[in-house]
């Protein structure tokens, strides 16, 4: 039964990234440009994941329904709401018509108005997406399994599903089917997940009471103590630095490889791939680490070293591609660019992904709870990532430049590790 749930959570991650790519395209006309649309969708998406992780984690430890049933209902609600988003976008037209004098007279204020209304539309489905992780961890973890292994495995399969979703949406689904048909197909997958999960729940016949009986006293949530608070703070800062890396790497690779939307998609795919593989690898071995705090520090220092070490190589990428390989087609070029870019950022992103099962395990040891542990570290890390993307994109790169922004993020990683 659990293997089937992992498959569905992989498909859920795929759907999430397909939706994200679709929303960027749908909101271009609302926001007035691809950059503004991408920023709006990214902030709303990550904010919803953070809010959903926090709310879902608190609810998971107190829920009276079967976690499997709740997960199925969440998937159905996501599909229904996402089908309505094109109509909700159209419903904004009267609002913007009413506010047109303000939008014209004050460009920045008008942009913020469109950002807020657009973000509010996307906040609900992304919150539901964020809640699915702690809900499923609550279902699979029964006290006998290793917590870090369960949380890391679920996180990794969902992230790897997102990798596939980011690739097929931009390169296959939307070019072949168009935006609306891709939306219908993705929502249909949500409905399929819901239907099969509900059938499995009925066949399993397991209530929450029987699940709760398998949990021990260590799985009950406790008050937040100092060590648990330091874990959340450290993982918040880790998320901040990770997003500084991603934004700076993306800018550097775009300068080296070109500004094609396909290049942006490949960079995002490579980044998420490293996170997913790192989380999967760590979930297999995290239970063997007796000194978890030490390993978190070592991994953070290594992230800083690897991220710092790749800085000199970005400017040489075009020469490497031209002189080392000579692909004969456009897709050959894209493949080479992806592999070269992935080679530069894979090690630090792999370690970033590996932190999640380790940190969630440490946090549960201090705080207790199942949903609270997963939802807490997931939401705090995501909030840090939101802040990091904003600060890097609008402050650091403009004032310090790409190189010094990466150096600053590396120093932050060293401080976290120390």
Mean pLDDT of the chain: 84
- The string of pLDDT tens digits covering residues 396-414 is 887 888 888 888 999 999 9
Q: How many helices (H) and strands (E) does the chain have?
A: 18, 0
What pLDDT does 267 receive?
74
In this prediction, residue 61 has a pLDDT band, given cuts at 50, 70 and 90, of confident
Q: How far is it, in rounded angstroms, from Cα 67 to Cα 197? A: 11
Higher-pLDDT residue of 376 and 263 is 376
The pLDDT, as a whole number, for residue 97 is 75
More confident residue, 339 or 133: 133
Q: What pLDDT is attached to residue 329? A: 64
Per residue in 100-146, pLDDT (tens digit) is: 676 656 667 777 888 888 889 999 999 999 999 999 998 888 665 57
Task: Choose the most confident range, by mean pLDDT, from 17-31, 213-227, 345-359.
Answer: 345-359
Among 5-14, 171-180, 218-227, which is the least confidently predicted range? 218-227
- pLDDT above 70 coverage of the chain, percent: 85
Q: Which residues have a Cβ under 8 Å from the Cβ of 26 and sit 6 or more positions away?
A: 85, 86, 89, 179
Pairwise pLDDT comparison (92 vs 10), residue with the higher score:
10
Q: 218-418: which CATH architecture? A: Up-down Bundle (1.20)
Q: Between 179-204 and 2-26, two packed helices, what is the crossing angle to 10 degrees?
A: 160
Q: Model confidence at 372, in pLDDT bands (50, 70, 90)?
A: confident
pLDDT at position 213: 46
Give Cα 95 to chain centroid, integer Å: 31
Indicate the helix (H) or strand (E) that contains 43.
Answer: helix 34-60
pTM for the whole thing?
Answer: 0.87
pLDDT for the residue numbered 310: 78
The per-residue pLDDT for 333 is 66
Max avg pLDDT among 1-15, 93-107, 330-344, 393-407: 1-15
CATH topology of domain 1-215: Growth Hormone; Chain: A; (1.20.1250)
Using pLDDT thresholds of 50, 70 and 90, give the confidence band for residue 365.
Answer: confident
Q: Which residue has the higher pLDDT, 18 or 141?
A: 18
Say how far apart CA 120 and CA 114 lie, in whole Å: 10
Ordered by start, the domain boundaries in the chain are 1-215, 218-418
Q: What angle do CA 409, 415, 418 make, to 5 degrees?
A: 145
Whole-angstrom Cα distance, residue 140 to residue 164? 24
| Identical topology for domains 1-215 and 218-418 | yes
């Amino acid at each position: 039964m659990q293997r089937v749930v992992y498959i569905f959570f992989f498909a859920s991650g795929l759907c999430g990234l397909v939706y994200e790519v679709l929303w960027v395209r749908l909101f271009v006309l609302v926001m007035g440009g691809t950059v503004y649309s991408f920023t709006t969708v990214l902030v709303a998406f990550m904010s919803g994941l953070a809010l959903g992780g926090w709310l879902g984690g608190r609810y998971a430890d107190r829920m009276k329904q079967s976690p499997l049933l709740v997960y199925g209902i969440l998937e159905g609600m996501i599909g229904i709401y996402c089908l309505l988003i094109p109509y909700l976008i159209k419903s904004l037209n009267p609002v913007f018509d009413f506010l047109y004098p303000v939008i014209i007279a004050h460009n920045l204020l008008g942009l913020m108005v469109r950002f807020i209304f657009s973000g509010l539309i996307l906040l609900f489905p992304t919150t539901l997406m964020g809640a699915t992780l702690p809900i499923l961890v609550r279902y699979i973890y029964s006290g006998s399994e290793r917590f870090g292994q369960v949380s890391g495995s679920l996180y990794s399969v969902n992230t790897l599903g997102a990798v596939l979703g980011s690739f097929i949406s931009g390169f296959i689904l939307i070019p072949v089917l168009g935006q609306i048909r891709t939306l219908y197909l993705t929502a249909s997958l949500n409905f399929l997940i819901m239907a099969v999960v509900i059938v499995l729940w009925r066949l399993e016949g397991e209530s929450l009471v029987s699940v709760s009986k398998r949990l021990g006293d260590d799985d009950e949530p406790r008050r937040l103590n100092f060590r648990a608070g330091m874990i959340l703070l450290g993982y918040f800062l880790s998320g901040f630095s990770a997003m500084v890396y991603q934004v700076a790497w993306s800018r550097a690779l775009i300068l080296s490889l070109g500004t094609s939307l396909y290049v942006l998609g490949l960079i995002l795919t490579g980044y998420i791939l490293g996170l997913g593989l790192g989380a999967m690898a760590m979930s297999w071995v995290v239970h063997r680490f007796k000194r978890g705090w030490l390993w978190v520090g070592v991994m953070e220092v290594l992230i800083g070293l690897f991220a710092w070490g790749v800085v000199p190589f970005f400017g040489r990428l075009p020469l490497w591609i031209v002189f080392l390989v000579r692909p004969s087609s456009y897709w050959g070029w894209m493949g080479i660019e992806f592999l070269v870019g992935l080679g530069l950022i894979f090690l630090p992103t792999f370690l970033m992904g590996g932190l999640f099962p380790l940190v969630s395990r440490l946090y549960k040891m201090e705080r207790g709870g199942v949903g609270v542990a997963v939802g807490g570290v997931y939401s705090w890390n995501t909030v840090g990532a939101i802040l990091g993307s904003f600060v890097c994109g609008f402050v650091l790169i403009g004032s310090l430049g790409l190189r010094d922004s990466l150096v600053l993020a590396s120093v932050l990683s060293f401080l976290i590790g120390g």
